[in-house]
Amino acid sequence: MSDAQITLADVTAAAERIRPHLAPTPLRRYPRLCELLGAEVYVKHENFLPTGAFKVRGGVNLALQLSAEERERGLIAASTGNHGQSVAYAARLAQTNATICVPENANPLKVAAIRGLGADVILFGADFDEAREGCAELAAERGYRYVHSGNEPHLIAGVATHTLEMLGDRPDLDMIIVPIGGGSGAAGACIAGKALRPEIEVIGVQAAAAPAAFRSWREGTIVEDHMGTFAEGLATRVGFELPQTILREHLDDFVLVDDDEIRQAMVRMIGATSSLVEAAGASPLAAAMRMRDRLAGKTVGLICSGGNVNIEQLKELLDTTGI
């Protein structure tokens, strides 16, 4: 597979590859969300995966294709948490070592989970992009196999299996709304969604306080911007080339939502689904609420990308939203 030509065949091969290791996640209809949005609404529960987030699909797909030389070198990645857990989980599966660079203020729950999976954790920088820059330097110095969170075809093919499953369960989906941080999940949704159902709309959502991916998509070139969102999975300062190449060709629309909208959506999703939903995972609902009139009469899939929320974050959420 070339970097720019990830196909449905690559996604179906990834699905076969990961099936012995990751069970399909449920796609569930919630009447409260249907009533809220005036549409048939289904939530894809990627928060039910072993690491609590969608990225493990890509990690497993990549790990099962590592060469002996790559396994000998070991893996390194930068992450706010979920990609790091994915690489750590995949490294254990491939019987190799993993080093994960995380920002100094990373979610303690996610950092503990990464360590629990056997990876070494290095605290580096004030945000994801500083950790990513330090990670790339360390990879070059020590010869690790660097696993970029976006510019990795095997990751995108792997995470695209969530959309393959969604359309297997509900081939009549009119729209999929998917979070965008680096863009691997949305790129995967575009590849699988458009191949299986060309008329489907794929809508990306990002925090207005971290709009680099949105601006990169809109302007047709990689853009760096400020990063001020609390939503870890959306907290990037720069667009990623490979996902952006795919998104520019296939993404139908891109919605920005503010942090207060994301918080309100978290509360609604946790209440409606009786499961933990992190900020990025709730952002599709925030976008759906903003574009409610456009959803009337449609069958809509919301990709709940993850559920890694710690107790302190839940307390802050409840205090902030006045619940």
Q: At what angle do helices 184-196 and 241-250 cross, to 10 degrees?
A: 30
Per-residue exposure over 214-234, b if at least 16 CB sit within 10 Å of its own CB, e if not: bbbbeeeeebebebebbbbbb
| Fold agreement between 8-54+154-321 and 56-150 | yes
pLDDT score at 109:
87
The yes-or-no answer on residue 55 being catalytic is yes
pLDDT score at 310:
87
Number of H helices, E strands in the chain: 15, 10
Measured from the Cβ of residue 10, the count of other Cβ atoms closer than 10 Å reads 20
Q: Where are the beta strands (DSSP E) in 180-286?
A: 201-207, 253-257
pTM for the full predicted model: 0.94
Radius of gyration of the chain, Cα coordinates, nearest whole angstrom: 18
Rounded-to-integer distance, Cα 76 and Cα 257, Å: 32
Which residues are bridge partners to 78 per DSSP? 101
CA dihedral sign of residues 279, 281, 282, 285? positive
Protein fold of 8-54+154-321: Rossmann fold (3.40.50)
pLDDT score at 275:
97
Domain ranges across the chain: 8-54+154-321, 56-150
pLDDT score at 323:
61
Catalytic residue among 79, 184, 216, 305: 305
Measured from the Cβ of residue 298, the count of other Cβ atoms closer than 10 Å reads 16
Distances (CA, A) of 70 to 6, 19, 59, 119, 148: 22, 23, 14, 16, 15
Structural contact between residues 191 and 11, judged by C-beta atoms closer than 8 angstroms: yes
pLDDT score at 74:
97
pLDDT tens digits for range 237-275: 999 999 999 999 999 999 999 999 999 999 999 999 999
Catalytic residue among 55, 86, 216, 283: 55
Ranges of residues in the chain whose predicted pLDDT is under 50: 2-3
- Helix (H, G, I), strand (E, B), or coil: what is residue 277? coil
Structural tokens at position 128 = 């994801």
Structural tokens at position 131 = 């950790």
CATH code of domain 56-150: 3.40.50.1100
Which residues are bridge partners to 45 per DSSP? 304
Q: Where are the beta strands (DSSP E) in the chain?
A: 27-29, 40-45, 75-78, 98-102, 120-123, 145-146, 175-179, 201-207, 253-257, 299-304
- Helix (H, G, I), strand (E, B), or coil: what is residue 167? helix
